[in-house]
Amino acid sequence: MSYRCEACGNKTRFDVFEAKRVRAFQHFSLGGEMNVEEEEVLEHQIERVVCRWCGSSDVVAETSDEEAVTGAEEKA
């Protein structure tokens, strides 16, 4: 999935606000450094997507990866 801002045409730069609930296997070294070795996403929700170019969030549309590739090929 990708995004497109209908206000300015941006297809590349967005701030994505999301909420996730995960189960993570955290491995701590004897020195106290933590490394996540395994992570399973239990819940995931996109809360808001904001265009980095114009700041709009109400006119940002989700596009499939297929649509994004087709659009790029048409311009080439």
Q: What is the pLDDT of residues 11-49, one digit of tens each?
A: 999 999 999 999 999 999 999 999 999 999 999 999 999
Which tokens hold the place of 21?
């609930």
Determine the average pLDDT of the residues in 43-67: 92
- Domain of 50 in residue numbering reads as 2-75
Residue 63 confidence (pLDDT) above 70? yes
Residue 75 confidence (pLDDT) above 70? no
Residue 67 confidence (pLDDT) above 70? no
Confidence (pLDDT) at 64? 84
> For residues 23 and 44, is the Cβ–Cβ distance under 8 A?
no
pTM above 0.75, yes or no: no
Say how many domains are in the chain.
Answer: 1
